[in-house]
Amino acid sequence: MTPRLQRLRGLVRKEMLQILRDPSALMIAFLLPFILLIINGFGLSLDAHHMKIAAVVQAGSAQTSGVEQALDNSPYLSVYWASSAQAARQALDEGEVRGILTLRQDFAQKLARPQRWPADAQLAVNATDPNTARLLQGYVTGAFTTWLQGEAEERALSMGGGPVLETRYWYNPQLRSTDFIVPGVIALVMSMTGTLLTALIVAREWERGTMESMLASPAGMAELVGAKLGTYFVLGMGSMALSVLITVFVFGVQLHGGVLALTFTAALFLIFTLAQGLFISTLTRNQFVAAQLAFITTMMPAIMLSGMLFDIASMPRWLQWVTYLIPARYFVAAVQTLFLAGNIWSVLLPNLFGLAVAASLTVAATLAVTHRRLD
Amino acid sequence: MTPLARAEGLSHVFPGKTGSTQALDAITAEIAPGVITGVVGPDGAGKTTFLRHLAGLLRPSAGRVEVLGHDMANNAAAAHPFIGYMPQRFGLYEDLSVAENLGLFADLHGLRDEARDERSKQLLEFTGLAPFTARQAGALSGGMKQKLGLACALLARPKLLLLDEPSVGVDPASRRELWRIVERMMEEAKSSGAEMGVVWATSYLDEAERCASVLLLHEGKVLSNAPPADFLAPMAGRVCRVTLPAAQRRRAVAVAKTLPGVLDALVQGDSLRLVLAQGAAPPDAALLGGSETKLVPPRFEDGFMDRLIAAAPPQKTASLPPVVSFADGAVIEVQHLIRRFGAFVAVNDVSFTIGRGEIFGLLGPNGAGKSTTFRMLCGLLRPSAGSALVAGKNLLTAAAQARARLGYMAQKFSLYGELTVRQNLDFFARAYGLDRTARGPAITDALARFELEAVADDLASALPLGLKQRLSLAAALLHKPEILFLDEPTSGVDPLNRRAFWARIGELAAQGVTVLVTSHFMDEAEYCDRLAIINAGRVLVTDTPAALRARVSTPELPDPTLEDAFIALVEGEAA
């Protein structure tokens, strides 16, 4: 064994012993991902189930009961059958329901006469939250279309055919937003745990005065940084594995891509986040400031600009350019692709390239700021 | 003989928000192999900065440092395998065990196989840490931590051993052991043909006296660089002792300091020790209210003070305290005090009384029961049996009024580092319930009396140790207490500041303030009127410092120090 290897072995062993004795590192690595995934995975569902809606049927008939059935069958809607327009209006005002569907008096008559077909129905939506309003509109339209399609098919058969639009949802056939969000949360988890793990450890060595004796020892800076990166890399990959297991087994998100490709992607991103943490803690030399900086520099960009929640393509052009500077963006894109679509190399490779550049630049920057001096 | 290390015109400037600080100013010095070079000087003199340069941890602002022929500015890595460095702050991993810490350093220095095992075993034996190899470093006592730090620094048989105040906060027995270990390792190195040079920074002058050569730093400059004997030589015939009656001593110090030709005056036991200017005649004993003036042999400390005073002459102040006697009754009364923690008896039948205006010391090694006794006196801990009365009251049950008559200065700096000096004083004035009209004058007075005006608007955390301790004392005295509790007040403080501190305490005592001090630090004990020596929860003896020294005087050791007395008494107890 060369002296360098022996020094590395000693330093890695030291890091491992410290991790085992200090619960905070293990908590960051395993408890934080668990909590973040559970909270975000269950709480951050973008599709709403059982949205409450009032329906007013001014004159019941065979046709309206068809609509009623279609609405009742929708898993996204929970229908309150109002006795009058006033009652429905009151429910909307009081926030009991999010919208009112009105089937007018002449609905059935119009439907019966082919030249006036289809008949009118009115949907009034509480649009204080435009996103929910749009969702509600989509679900009602969906239920309506399903029913209308059934009707049309019947009529088309009797009338001798006509075009029918068939929709297929690829990559997420069940349209579950969980499948899209949870892989994004993995990116958030890995940004935070990776950075936080290392942000604290170097700052701690400065605070406790142990860095001074390390700097005066024969260990080189690359060895000190390397031993930390290496040890915490293993811990971070364990944290990643836990996140993937939760995603697959708790949230039932299927992994379409390869495990190897996912591991490689995670490794690149982890090197970046660990190095970012080392960089922060080397500059601040203070655990408290380092932890704060780690939160600000990882949480915000990972949530806002990574594409985890908000579609990058719908951002203003200048902001889209900014997202290219956020490595979490590449990771989110790659992880979502791997989970939902599979090993699509034309998508993965550019993102992996982005991650590789980010990782090597950050490691280089960290080595540049960690010089062997106290001043 | 080629020097082991050499500094040439070494300067170091720390940039700061309020202006830069010149920590080192054109230091030129050589470190010889095979001997101990002491680095001494007041706090903030640049001792730590100098050692850090020798360890290659700082880049010189000007000049250069060479260790074993390597320029430390750009080739420190080449020298590091041959340097053992023990920083002032404990530099080991507290969550690693003794064996694991040693193992880490063995790996870092590339020790392996038999050499590694043998060396670790040897050092564990030397340091007495062998029974504690599985204990986490954080759970070791102060003395044992320092021994472990020393063992790690010695592990790779360095050619240059750098020790930055290793004996701060360490009890006298452990302090002696640190010396014994270093001296033994030096001998061992010599016999194996590879000499080890040691640089030992210290604020203990008895340690400096044991060094082959002493580098005296003051405000970043070298005041002298010579063997201890050279510090003594010019002092011959310039140190005298005036025997005084007890009640006169404190007043006499103040008077003596105003006399021309007297550089320094210090109460010592039942007499006053004076250091005279070059060529000055000893003053008439009658002037000081004494009976006899006698020339005595100088000590290293006299030479040290002489050079420091020459570099920065102190102002001669003339505030004369009144003469008081301690006759008017006991202020603190402790009777048959016992405190148990489970089966462990921390304080075992301790009794003593302290009179008004008396400075009383509780002296003992770490874990002797000093702090427990102290806490019971403060009313923070309930005695298992016996009584502890302060001004006739039990502080555990007494009203806040009784506590308001008490001032307390903790061992650890317990002020707010993020506040300025003035803000700290303001906070403590409010905490002690001084009203608006009293607060302003009290703070102004404290700033003036403790010479803190120049730093009034500096952050407390940025002050050097001596000033921090002065600020702590100022805060403890804001409400003019009658009783003052001091917990190891000058541990780690340099001799200059220590003397100034005790001069102030002496003035307070002369005004009738009763002072109780705990310490494991013998220099502090010298300033006390009476001492109780505590070991393993029991009072071994209560007496004046002079009587304690006389007790252990033998033909071989006719003039023992208090430290000798202490060790003899504690060891006599153990035997």
Write down the H helix ranges in A22-54: 23-26, 32-43
What are the 10-residue block averages of pLDDT along chain B, 575 residues in total?
88 76 89 93 86 92 93 89 90 92 93 88 91 89 89 93 87 85 93 91 87 91 90 88 74 78 77 84 78 83 84 58 53 89 87 89 81 83 86 74 79 80 91 86 88 85 80 88 85 75 83 85 78 88 84 77 79 67
Residue A296 and residue A313 in contact, taking contact as beta carbons nearer than 8 Å: no
Q: Find the residue in A nearest to B108 (Cα).
A: A7
pLDDT at A47 over 80: no
- Pick the residue with more confidence: A288 or A170? A288
Which residue in the set B57, B100, B109 is minimally distant from A218, CB to CB?
B109
Q: A142 at the B interface (CB within 8 A)?
A: no
Which pLDDT score is estimated for B121? Answer: 93
Residue B190 distance to chain A (closest CA, Å): 23
Partners of residue B14 in chain A, C-beta under 8 Å: 375
Q: Using pLDDT thresholds of 50, 70 and 90, give the confidence band for residue A161.
A: very low
**Average pLDDT value for chain A:** 84
**Three-state DSSP state, B406:** strand
Cβ atoms of residues B189 and B181 within 8 Å: no
Residues of chain B neighbouring A208 (CB-CB closer than 8 A): 89, 94
CB-CB neighbors (< 8 A) of A375 in chain B: 14, 58-59
Q: A79-111, pLDDT tens digit by residue?
A: 888 888 888 888 888 888 888 888 887 777 777
List phi, psi (to 5°) of B492: 85, 0
CA distances from B314 to A183, B28, B288 (A): 72, 27, 21
Nearest-10 crossing angle of helices A287-300, A178-208: 160
Shortest distance between the Cα of B418 and any Cα of chain A, in A, equals: 15
Model pLDDT, residue A168? 66
Name every chain A residue with its beta carbon within 8 A of the beta carbon of B103: 10, 13
A175 Ramachandran zone, left/alpha/beta (phi>0; psi -120 to 50): left
CB-CB neighbors (< 8 A) of A209 in chain B: 87, 89-91
Helix, strand, coil shares, percent, chain B, to 5: 40, 25, 35
- A175 confidence band (pLDDT: 50, 70, 90): low
User: Is A208 close to B58, i.e. CB distance below 8 A?
Assistant: no
| CB-based burial, A265-284: b 16+ in 10 Å, e otherwise | bbbbbbbbbbbbbbbbbbbb
* A22 → chain B, closest CA residue: B95
* A172/chain B closest Cα distance in angstroms: 49
CB-based burial label for B471 (10 Å; 0-12, 13-18, 19+):
buried
Residues of B in contact with A10 (CB under 8 A): 103-104, 106-108
A7 touches chain B (CB under 8 A): yes
Q: Residue B108: which of A10, A212, A373 has the nearest Cβ? A: A10
B138: contact with A, CB 8 A cutoff? no
In tens, the pLDDT along A279-332 reads 998 888 888 898 899 888 888 888 888 888 788 888 899 999 999 999 999 999
Which chain A residue is nearest to residue B61, measuring alpha carbons? Answer: A375
Residues in chain B with CB shorter than 8 Å from the CB of A217 are 80, 85, 105, 108-109
In A, minimum Cα distance to B60 occurs at A375
Instruction: Give the model's pLDDT for residue A115.
Output: 61
Residue B559 is encoded by which pair of tokens? 């003039």
Nearest Cα of chain A lies from the Cα of B103 at a distance, in angstroms, of 7
Q: Do B108 and A209 touch (CB under 8 A)?
A: no
Cα distance between residue A273 and residue A254, in whole Å: 26
Kindly state whether B99 is in contact with chain A, defined as any CB-CB distance less than 8 angstroms: no
Chain B positions touching A13 (Cβ under 8 A) are 100, 103-104, 107
Sign of the CA dihedral with B113 first, then B114, B119, and B125 last: positive
pLDDT attached to residue B16: 66
A18 at the B interface (CB within 8 A)?
A: yes
DSSP state letters, A196-217: HHHHHHHHHHHHHTHHHHHHTS
Kindly state the average pLDDT of the residues A252-273. 93
Model confidence pLDDT, tens digit, residues A130-153:
777 887 888 888 787 778 777 777
Neighbour-count burial for B188-201, b at 16+ CB within 10 Å, e otherwise:
ebeeeeeebbbbbb
B87 touches chain A (CB under 8 A): yes
- DSSP H helices, chain A, are 3-21, 23-26, 32-43, 62-73, 85-93, 107-112, 130-159, 178-208, 210-215, 221-245, 259-284, 287-300, 317-323, 327-336, 345-369
| pLDDT of A357 above 90 | yes
Contact between residue B40 and residue B200 where contact means Cβ atoms under 8 Å apart? no
B53: CB partners within 8 A, 6+ apart: B7, B10, B12, B24, B60, B65, B72
Q: Which residues of B touch A14 (CB under 8 A)?
A: 93, 96, 100, 104
Is residue B94 within 8 angstroms of chain A, CB to CB? yes
Chain B hits for A15, Cβ within 8 Å: none
What is residue B28's predicted lDDT score, i.e. its pLDDT? 94
Quote the pLDDT of residue A155: 67
Q: How many CB pairs under 8 A join A and B?
A: 90
Say which DSSP state A339 is in: I
What was the pLDDT predicted at B318?
43
CB atoms within 10 A of CB B564: 18
Query: B21, B49, B93, B165: best mutation site toward chain A, by most A Cβ within 10 Å?
Result: B93
* Contact flag A213-B109 (C-beta cutoff 8 Å): no
Q: Which residues of A touch B107 (CB under 8 A)?
A: 6-7, 9-11, 13
- The dihedral region occupied by B522, where left means phi > 0, alpha psi between -120 and 50, and beta the remainder, is alpha
- B36 in Cβ contact with A191 (< 8 Å): no
| pTM summary value | 0.78
Q: Write out the H or E segment, with its range, that includes residue B356.
A: none
Best of B57, B59, B83, B96 to substitute, by most chain A Cβ atoms within 10 angstroms, is B57
> Residue A375 and residue B59: Cβ atoms within 8 Å?
yes
Interface check for A20 against chain B (CB to CB < 8 A): the answer is no
β-sheet with B406-409: strand ranges across: B406-409, B483-487, B514-519, B359-363, B530-535, B538-543
Distance CA A197, CA A239 (A): 11
The answer, for B59 touching chain A at a CB cutoff of 8 Å, is: yes
A268 token code pair = 């690149």
* H helix intervals, A74-129: 85-93, 107-112
Q: What is the DSSP letter of B279?
A: T
pLDDT at B522: 72
B205 touches chain A (CB under 8 A): no
The model's pLDDT over B139-166, given as tens digits with 9 standing for 90+, comes to: 887 788 999 999 999 999 999 999 999 9
CB–CB contact B59 A373 (8 Å):
yes
B96 to chain A, any CB pair closer than 8 A? The answer is yes
**Is A23 an interface residue toward B (CB < 8 Å)?**
no
